[in-house]
Amino acid sequence: MSTEAIDPRYVDIDQWPTVRAVEAMVEGQMAAIAAIGSQTGRIAQAAEAAAARLGSQGRLVYVGAGTSGRIAVQDGVELYPTYNWPRERLLFLMAGGLAALTEAAEGAEDDVDAARAEIAAAGIGPHDIVIGVAASGRTPYTVAAITAAREAGALTIGVANNDGTALLAAADHGLVAETGTEIVAGSTRMKAGTAQKAMLNMLSTAVMLRMGLVYRGLMVNMRISNEKLRLRGQAMVRDIAGVDLGTAAQALDAAGQDIKQAVLVAMGVAADEARHLLDAHGQKLPDAMRAVRKGG
């Protein structure tokens, strides 16, 4: 595996001046992002398939071990505050359990029986999207989880840093960024981890776009949890509905701090009607707004 190989260019890096070592790390991070360039089409295809499958009940399930698992969880946990993605529609399967997020449990990555059991216990099914992340592309726990999830009818996505590996073969959609050797041999928290995080960011953001949770580049499904976000929400309602800030604030309060509903309220729709209108249009704000303008 190229991600585990020793790079002769860096065998003396511990003897280099620190600034030179850091410069080499920066070059490595840039190369990691460049390695994603060939995957844009695959990421888009996976995102579109995921959005179509999720519907109103499907879950996003992140699977991984070690560094890759921690990066996967980091992507998933951001979806609740950023897009108000329901917590009950997020699931994290980490080799060694969630305690492995802060304490190393590297031996757990070989436990294929645990992976299969956890997929079964979670009741994974056809509406679910299961995303497995492994730099090597062959981590037994992750490959077993993806295989079991696919057998259960879920849509599966594999994210790896080595092509032609078991994880990519097991998944419906395989995403690979061949980041190659690391400056510190085998430390996939560096280049490989950066590429994984970027691919997951793009994938989950594209899914949210296709789910109608973004409008005109704005996070209209954002969860308002503090004063800063409340003010941001008011500004969104003001700009989208074309009203003054005071009207936007009143609409947001009437809509229970739901930005999409508040836009419709600011357009003259009652709060209950706004909620039903969004439901009728799959929570897609542009469609609901067009219906209001047309009178129903």
Catalytic residues: 78, 109
For residue 31, CA distances in Å to 14, 59, 91 come to: 21, 33, 31
For the chain, the straight-line distance linking the first and the last C-alpha, in angstroms and rounded, comes to: 59
Spatial CB neighbours of 263, under 8 Å, sequence gap ≥ 6: 220, 236, 237, 240, 241, 251, 285, 289
Are 256 and 224 in contact, with CB atoms under 8 Å apart? no
Say if strands 90-94 and 60-64 run parallel, antiparallel, or are unpaired. parallel
Alpha-carbon dihedral sign for residues 253, 256, 262, 268 = negative
Residues in the chain: 296
Q: Rg (Cα) of the chain, in Å, rounded?
A: 22
Give exposure, 268-287, as e/b (b: 16+ Cβ within 10 Å). Answer: ebebeebbebbeebebebee
Tokens of 167: 């994880």
3-state helix, strand, coil in the chain (%, to 5): 60, 10, 30
